[in-house]
Structure 1
Amino acid sequence: MSSTPESRSPASRPSASKPALDTLVELLRERLPDDALIAEPSAAAAATRLWNARVTKRPAVVARCRTAADVQAAVRAARSAGVPLSVRGGGHDWAGSAIADGGLLVDLGEMRQVVIEGDEARVAGGATVSDVLDAARPHGLAAAVGTVGSVGFAGLTLGGGYGTLIGVTGLGVDNMLSAEVVLADGRIVTADPRHEADLFWALRGGGGNFGVVTELRTRLHPFATVSTGLLAFPWDQARSVLRGWRTLTAAADDALDVMFGAMSTPVGKVVFTMPTWAGDPDRAAAQIARVRALGDPVLDDVDRRALADAVHALDEAFPYGGEYRLGARMLPALTDDAIEAFVRAAEAMPGTCALNVHHAHGTATRAQAADAAYPYRDEHLVVEIIGSWTDGDGAAESAWVRDAEDLLEPYALPGGWANLMAPDDPHAPDAYGANTARLLEIKAHYDPDGVFTAIPLREA
């Protein structure tokens, strides 16, 4: 799972004045269809729904865009009126930073078209992971995607793009072929290796900091069906399972990805694995057996199934409209000390919370850090720390997220995956490492006024 880096307005930016909003509405009425504009406050609030129900910020005006021209009109109107804007794609923003409180929300929710062209897909800016997988499945294809279907595909890809095919497909940014972008001045450009090459480099990891991506092209792969599912082990086997995971993955085929984590189930707290084999189907049983042998499974649901179905199933684990606080740490390796920190964090974990760990390996580690804005190219682990609750104010769950981050911090890399960072995260200055200076130069060229501020991008 991952939160998407949709364009954000800085928290310090004040709400627009009433005269500015009146001007904005007047301009939008001239440029957009009547049913695309929501300016009545309660209606705008009702139309603003994010994955995390804890978010309370609301825009003053919503522009429901259906085309790149609509987005262009909305951006130009906001600039002319002096109103801050933000962009919602899939709506999977956990921190609420995708909402410019009292400003204009450029909503891409109706732009969900996916067109398959051979082994490529053209994906509109509001399409979700499930939209892409469902469109590619009849062709026997799949995209480099995450593990939850409701996440926005563009936001996931632009922020890096971890997923269970990572060993054979690489990161999402490695599969991005081009992007149609509405810039801060309202121009529409196409960025690819031959056109706006600096912008193309920056988008692949730097996310929505440079404009509104209204469409991207991505490479597809022949993995519509894989062997995948859940294997969970008793909690008293956690340390041995994780040490076994380390040994197994050190010599594993690129086609075997083994996510792991901790969660509470009807049979108690478990250490789980989610193996995915995207290789020769005749080798699947032997590969999954290696994972099964890590311990004594108490849950075993691995089978040959459509990747789209597997991703759909995980939507239920983290439903839209729940209350969440997320955190993360990025580990260079699963050392004995890191295992101990992980176990301690999990043992203190409230029952509604979870830990998910992605493993960057194989094809994802064969690019160079300077090839795209996303800098993490050595083998590593991303620990997602997911605080979730259904009752109360979430104080205990939020405190656990912070404590888990602190436990893992001594073993973590500087920076981290910006998709899971809040705008004020103290680790944000290190998120892009040696790529930071170039990103800031490109930002100054394409968005000198700071109209778009998506995932954290600032100097150390």
Structure 2
Amino acid sequence: MSSPAGNGIEIAVGLLRDQLPADMVVVGESAVEAVKPWNAQVRQRPAVIVRCRTADDVRAAVLAARSGGLPLSVLGGGHDWAGGAIREGGLLVDLSAMRQVVVEGAEARVAGGATVSDVLDAVRPHGYAAAVGTVSSVGFAGLTLGGGYGTLIGLVGLGVDNVSSAQVVLADGRVVTADPQHEPELFWGLRGGGGNFGVVTELRTRLHPHAEVTTGMIAFGWEQAGSVLRGWRDLTSTADDALDVMFGALHTPAGLVLFTSPTWAGDPAGADEQIGRVRALGDPVLEDFGRRALADAVHAMDELFPRGGNYYLSSLLLPRLTDAAVDDFVRAGDAMPATCALNVHHSHGAATRVAATETAYQYRDEHLVLEILGSWTDGDGAEESAWVRETERRMDAYALAGGWTNLMARDNPRVADAYGGNTERLLAVKAHYDPDGVFMAMPMPK
């Protein structure tokens, strides 16, 4: 006798094969073998993969999953470290073939499976950059709609601030465009609530004339970490919006360092002065910076976080860098295993001049995003995972309620506060557009 799940798979696959070419529908062991998550610790595998090329293909996949009663998930760039993009025994909507980027003046139309690399490489010949993060293989839609921190944040704001419209396939199969005039509540919810309302098959995003910036790395010996961080705090309190200075802890051949990654996106004539202010924070042990394409700078970070590695991550948002927070950050670095890292992004400038209710993403005061990155190549990761949890516990005393859901596990208790005063409105959008809870792209409060 066939199992209910087996019957559901047969129903879904039958519908799909009536509508799509055979090579677009992958079933059974072939589906299991075809999925290679960015995080090797993600072990769940789908029963069916639909390799979509158009919004109509996505519509067919969504309706087939619903007809068969199968769990549904969506794979874009695949960097969802906690595995929400793959549901065990479910139907996976694979957008990896939908990577087109079309530049139209000072905007780009970005297909749902495009990566940060796809976007930057496409807009670069036109003299533009987009609001993107620091790793090129991350999916552009997932990064953007989850908030979208990046090195141009002081000048152009968050990724969500640059989205002008989205094409979305809803749970009932409708394909809609969400913008300020059409489906405005959906448009509001997408910008922070991500893919929890449907499959985003295309984004239209604003572009900016910053294809080239002055950027790189200036690192200081770990014994200087405390003084450098206090200096960073003073420097950024008066810095121009065009200067972004990410920092963190990293093991290098030169030993454990406090690295800074300054990016100056203002007048190139002022670059030496601006980067010099960062260099003057201490006595650098490593320096590598210059006038570079933003695309090249983002590509350079990829080797630190390769696909197929073992990862356990967390994050916290800090309203400020107090002396006590500096001291505990240094203690966390002291205990950090050799394959792990700490990254800190600074939300400032244009991102802070948007009202907390303008988008579903609520964090609009100046703040820091602390990424706690556990990774390992050998062993079971127990040491590295324990360090992530201990660092989260250590820094929790300085953190805001809630946090950045892109780096939250679904069972993280901070999810309950992640949307603050926007929670009730966001849940109303969810109830209207996805009343049956088909989509689970990002953690959401219940």
Of 1, 4, 25, which residue of structure 2 is paired with 1:37?
25
Q: 2:263 maps to which residue? A: 276
Q: Give, in whole Å, the separation in 2 of the partners of 1:134 and 1:173.
A: 20
Residues 57-96 of structure 1 mapped to structure 2, 5 A cutoff: 57-96=44-83
- Could you tell me which residue of structure 1 aligns to residue 399 of structure 2? 412
In structure 1, C-alpha distance between the alignment counterparts of 2:210 and 2:32, rounded to whole Å: 40
The separation in 2 between residues aligned to 1:439 and 1:449, in whole angstroms, is: 15
Trace 1:135-150 onto structure 2 (pairs within 5 A): 135-150=122-137
SS of equivalent residue, structure 1 residue 179: strand
1:285 is matched with: 272
- Paired residue for 2:311? 324
| 2-structure distance, mates of 1:158, 1:135 | 20
Q: 1:181 aligns with which of 145, 163, 168?
A: 168
| Cα pair 2:84 2:442 within 8 Å, conserved | no
* TM-score, length of structure 2 as denominator length: 0.99
Q: Give the whole-Å Cα distance in 1 for the aligned partners of 2:4 and 2:157.
A: 42
Q: 1:338 Cα deviation (Å)? A: 0.7
Greater alpha carbon shift after TM alignment, 166-175 vs 96-105: 96-105
CA contact (8 A) 2:193 2:361 kept: yes
Q: What residue is the counterpart of 1:389 in the other structure?
A: 376
Matched residues, percent identical?
A: 70
Q: Cα distance 1:92–1:365, how it changes in 2: closer, same or farther (>3 A)?
A: same
**Does residue 1:252 correspond to 2:226, yes or no?**
no
| Cα shift at 1:453 | 1.4
Deviation at 1:292, TM superposition (A): 0.4
- Give the secondary structure class of the aligned counterpart of 1:162: coil
In the TM superposition, 1:92-131 aligns within 5 A as 92-131=79-118
> 1:17 aligns to what?
5
Q: 1:158-197 residue pairs with structure 2 within 5 A? A: 158-197=145-184
Asked whether the equivalents of residues 16 and 102 of structure 1 are also in contact (C-alpha less than 8 Å), the reply is: no
User: In structure 2, what is the Cα distance between the partners aligned to 1:185 and 1:47?
Assistant: 28
Instruction: Output one character per residue of 1:112-142: Cα deviation in whole Å (capped at 9) or x when no partner.
Output: 0000000000000000000000000000100
Per the alignment, residue 249 of structure 2 pairs with: 262
Counterpart among 207, 213, 216 of residue 200 in structure 2: 213
Q: Secondary structure in 1 aligned to 2:291?
A: strand
Determine the C-alpha separation between the residues in 2 that align with 1:281 and 1:250: 22
Aligned-residue offset at 1:80: 1.0
CA contact (8 A) 2:40 2:308 kept: yes
Please name the residue that 1:373 is paired with.
Answer: 360
**Structure 2 CA distance for partners of 1:19 and 1:240, relative to 1, 3 Å:** same
Q: What's the CA shift string for 1:371-425, capped at 9, x where partnerless? A: 0000000000000000000000101000000000000000000000000001111
CA distance in 1, matches of 2:373, 2:226: 21
Aligned residue type for 1:26 = G
Residue type of the alignment partner of 1:29: R
CA shift, 1:16, in A, is 6.5
- Kindly provide the CA deviation profile for residues 194-233 of structure 1, in whole angstroms up to 9, marking residues without a partner as x: 0000000000000011000000000000000000001000
> What is the CA distance between 1:362 and its match in structure 2?
0.2
Distance 1:45 1:263 in 2: 35
1:437 is matched with which residue: 396, 408, 424? 424
Does residue 1:242 correspond to 2:229, yes or no? yes
Using the TM superposition, give the Cα deviation of residue 458 of structure 1 relative to its aligned residue in structure 2, in angstroms: 1.4
Task: Read off the aligned partner of 2:82 and give its amino acid letter.
Answer: A
Partner of 2:14: 26
Note if 1:425 corresponds to 2:425.
no
Indicate if the aligned counterparts of 1:16 and 1:103 stay in contact, CA closer than 8 A: no
Q: Once the 2 structures are TM-superposed, how far is the Cα of residue 320 of structure 1 from its aligned partner?
A: 1.0
Paired residue type of 1:210: F
CA distance in 1, matches of 2:52, 2:33: 17
Deviations 1:74-104 (A, max 9, x none): 0011111111110000011101121110010
Q: Contact between 2:84 and 2:440, CA under 8 Å: does it hold in 1?
A: no
Gaps in structure 1 of 5+ consecutive residues: 1-14
AA aligned opposite 1:37: V
Partner of residue 4, structure 1:
none
| Aligned residue type for 1:31 | Q
* Cα distance in structure 2, aligned partners of 1:235 and 1:84: 47
Cα-to-partner distance string for 1:308-357 (whole Å, 9 max, x where unaligned): 00001100111111110000111000000111111111111000000000
Shift of 1:42: 2.3
Question: In the alignment, is the contact (CA less than 8 A) between 1:16 and 1:83 conserved in 2?
Answer: no
Q: Secondary structure at the match of 1:202?
A: helix
Describe the SS at the equivalent of 1:321.
coil
CA 233–16 in structure 1, closer or farther in 2 if over 3 Å, else same: farther
The alignment's C-alpha RMSD in Å is 0.8
Code of the residue aligned with 1:123 in structure 2: it is: V
Q: 1:324 corresponds to which letter in structure 2?
A: Y
Task: Provide the C-alpha distance between the structure 1 equivalents of 2:130 and 2:78, rounded to a whole number of angstroms.
Answer: 20
Residues 3-37 of structure 1 show CA distances to partners (whole Å, capped at 9, x for unaligned) of xxxxxxxxxxxx97111111111011012111100
1:455 aligns with 2:446: no
In structure 1, C-alpha distance between the alignment counterparts of 2:204 and 2:86, rounded to whole Å: 26
Aligned length: 444
Q: Distance in 1 between matches of 2:238 and 2:29?
A: 56
Moved more, 45-54 or 155-164: 45-54
SS of the aligned residue for 1:298 comes to strand
1:176 Cα offset (Å): 0.3
In the alignment, what sits opposite 1:11?
Answer: none
- Aligned partner of 2:143 among 156, 163, 166: 156
Q: d(CA) in 1 for partners of 2:24 and 2:107?
A: 30
What secondary structure sits across from 2:413 in the alignment?
Answer: coil
User: Which sits farther off after the overlay, 44-53 or 85-94?
Assistant: 44-53
